[in-house]
Amino acid sequence: MRLSNKIALVTGAAGGMGRATALTFAREGAGGVIIADIEDADGAAVVDEITAAGGAAYYVHLDVADEASWHAAITATLERFGRLDILVNNAGISGTFDPDRTSTAFFERLMAVNTRGAFLGIKHGTEAMKRTGGGSIVNLSSISAHIGQAEVHLGYSASKGAVKSMTTAAAVHYAGDGIRVNAVAPGMLPAMRTSRGSADPVWRAQQIDGVPLKREGKAQEVADVVLFLASDESSYVTGTEIMVDGGLTAV
Ligand SMILES: NC(=O)c1ccc[n+]([C@@H]2O[C@H](COP(=O)([O-])OP(=O)(O)OC[C@H]3O[C@@H](n4cnc5c(N)ncnc54)[C@H](O)[C@@H]3O)[C@@H](O)[C@H]2O)c1
């Protein structure tokens, strides 16, 4: 068991890669997995899945863009499980949800959820982790922090570039507290709940054609890398970003 007795909070865990990560953590012996999302019914279903398999999980409604919501989620975690060892800042919205690539309101929404959400997670997650001597934070960035994609709003690229930069900075800020901070950058994974343009099969086929491994990634393939960074196996790894993109950014 690679996460024996560790307590982990995964944002955006009601579906996609967050759900795969939460299920993986539970299988690896986590003492508690907090499923945090705004999609309450789907989040509760993930809790049921983990519980049915003999694991311990708990759902909290968390809007990552809202600081009061973070206070409540971390308080609930500490009340229920007494500590926080792992935080995965996975919640996010797609850069193609609004087809208007010049929308200022959408720029601000992308920054609020994807960047402020990760910032607030780091802020409140580290406060909790310091109480028990440290932990591991894994942020979900993206290939969009590295390459331009014509269909994707500039705000998405900016939001994920900021996540990547905050990962590096936070690793330095919190190393003395025993907290490691790393990022995982997925490439062409199954479309997000909020994907519109990037869910188009023609666009996806074109993008996947440019992937050296010539296929879409699987949520589990991202979850496995998150697991490595969350676990003590990566004890000398901090401030880095691992691309999980089938080689897309290596071309
Ligand atoms: N799917 C991809 O191709 C891809 C590629 C690169 C990076 N990413 C990033 O990986 C992460 C996971 O993506 P996914 O594909 O699993 O997407 P997804 O849409 O399946 O899952 C994202 C989850 O975040 C939740 N969420 C959205 N806004 C929220 C908010 N304000 N507060 C709390 N939860 C909120 C959603 O309800 C959803 O359950 C995201 O940060 C995304 O930007 C995805």
Q: What is the pLDDT of residue 153?
A: 98
Q: Which of 97, 184, 192, 245 to mutate to test the pocket of ligand 1 (most atoms within 8 A of CB)?
A: 192
Helix (H) or strand (E) holding 87: strand 86-89
SS3 178: coil
Q: What is the pLDDT of residue 233?
A: 98
> Contact 52/60 with Cβ under 8 angstroms?
no
Q: What is the pLDDT of residue 168?
A: 98
Fold of 7-246: Rossmann fold (3.40.50)
Q: What is the pLDDT of residue 141?
A: 98
Question: Which residues pair with residue 60 across a beta bridge?
Answer: 36
Mean pLDDT along residues 89-94: 98
Q: How confident is the model at residue 159 (pLDDT cuts 50, 70, 90)?
A: very high
Q: Which of 10, 11, 17, 59 to mutate to test the pocket of ligand 1 (most atoms within 8 A of CB)?
A: 17
- The residue whose CA is least distant from atom 38 of ligand 1 is 12
Q: Which residues line ligand 1 (CB under 6 A)?
A: 11-12, 14-18, 37-39, 62-65, 90-93, 113, 140, 142, 186, 188-190, 192-194
Ligand 1 atom at shortest distance from the alpha carbon of 189: 3
- The residue whose CA is least distant from atom 23 of ligand 1 is 12
Structure confidence by residue, pLDDT tens digits, 124-134: 999 999 999 99
The token duo for 220 is: 């589990």
Residue with tokens 């591991």: 136
Comparing CA positions, the residue from 211, 217, 244, 212 lying closest to residue 228 is 244
Q: What is the pTM of this model?
A: 0.99
Active-site amino acid positions: 156
CA of 210 to the centre of ligand 1 (A): 23
Q: Which of 19, 113, 149, 193 to mutate to test the pocket of ligand 1 (most atoms within 8 A of CB)?
A: 193
Q: What is the pLDDT of residue 234?
A: 98
Q: What is the pLDDT of residue 116?
A: 98
Domains of the chain, residue spans: 7-246
Burial of 11 (0-12, 13-18, 19+ CB in 10 A): buried
How far is Cα 222 from Cα 140, in angstroms, rounded to an integer? 10
Structure confidence by residue, pLDDT tens digits, 44-85: 999 999 999 999 999 999 999 999 999 999 999 999 999 999
